[in-house]
Amino acid sequence: MKKHHLTLTDDDRRELETLLSKGNLKALTFKRATALLELDRGKTFVDVATTLSVTTKAVANWRKRYTSTGLKCLYDAPRSGRPTVIDGVQRAKITALATSDAPEGYARWSLRLLAEKAVESGICDDVSYTFVRDVLKKTNLSPI
Q: What is the pLDDT of residues 46-90, one digit of tens each?
A: 999 999 999 999 999 999 999 999 999 999 888 888 888 889 999
Listed in sequence order, the residues at least 6 apart from 126 whose beta carbon sits closer than 8 Å to its beta carbon are 119
CA distance 93 to 22: 40
Count of domains observed in the chain: 2
The pLDDT assigned to 77 comes to: 84
* Residue-range definition of the domain harbouring residue 42: 10-74
14 and 48 inside one domain: yes
pTM: 0.58
Does residue 143 belong to any structural domain of this protein?
A: no
